[in-house]
Amino acid sequence: MSAVSELKISNPIKGPGLKAPGVVILQFLLILLFETLEYAFTKVGIFTGIAILVAFAGGLYLGRRGTAFTAVVTPPLAFLFSTLILIASIGGAGLSISHVGLDLVSMLGAAAPFLVIGAAISWIYYLLKGRKK
C-alpha cells in the first residue's frame, strides 16, 4: 500500500460536529474573509469562488447529522450578505442604490459558476443522503 492510500483526514471537531448555527457562522465568516481580502485588491474572482466551494464542503463535513440542509442553503445567502456589506463599506457605495446594484450584479456574475457547481453537488449529496434513510 502506498502512503497516500493510508492517509486519513481526521475530523478537527471532537464530538458529534457543529450545530446548524455553527455551520452558518463558519460558512459566513469563511466567505466574508476571502471575499474581503480579494475585494480589497481587485474584484471578486477565483479565491472567493474556492472559498464558496470549501464552505459547501466544510459545512457538509463538519456539521452534525441533520445539518446538511443548512450547509447546502447557507453559502449563497452568506455570499449575498457579505457582498452587500463589502459594497457598502469597502466599496464606498454607501446608500447609492445604482452603485450597489451594479456592483452586486457584477460580483454575483463573477461567483456564479462556483455557486452553481457547489449548490448542484451539495443538493445532489443532500438528496441522495436523505434518500438512504
Look up residue 10 and give its DSSP letter.
P
- Find, among 30, 6, 42, the residue nearest to 79 by Cα: 30
What is the sign of the dihedral through the CA atoms of 29, 110, 62 and 17? Answer: positive
Q: What is the pLDDT of residues 59-72, one digit of tens each?
A: 998 888 888 899 99
Residue 119 has pLDDT above 80, yes or no: yes
Residue 70: per-residue pLDDT: 92
What b/e sequence results for 76-104 when a residue is b if at least 16 CB atoms lie within 10 Å of its CB, and e otherwise? bebbbebbbebbbeebebeeeeeebeebb
The secondary structure of residue 44, as a DSSP letter, is S
Q: Which residues contact 46 (CB under 8 A, 6 or more apart)?
A: none
Percentage of residues in the chain having pLDDT higher than 90: 48
Does the pLDDT value for residue 81 go beyond 80? yes
CA distance 101 to 39: 16
For the ranges 8-12, 50-54, 126-130, the lowest mean pLDDT is seen at: 8-12
In this structure, are residues 82 and 29 in contact, taking their beta carbons and an 8 Å threshold?
A: no
Q: How far lies 35's CA from each of 19, 57, 117, in Å?
A: 24, 17, 18
Helix (H, G, I), strand (E, B) or coil at 15: coil
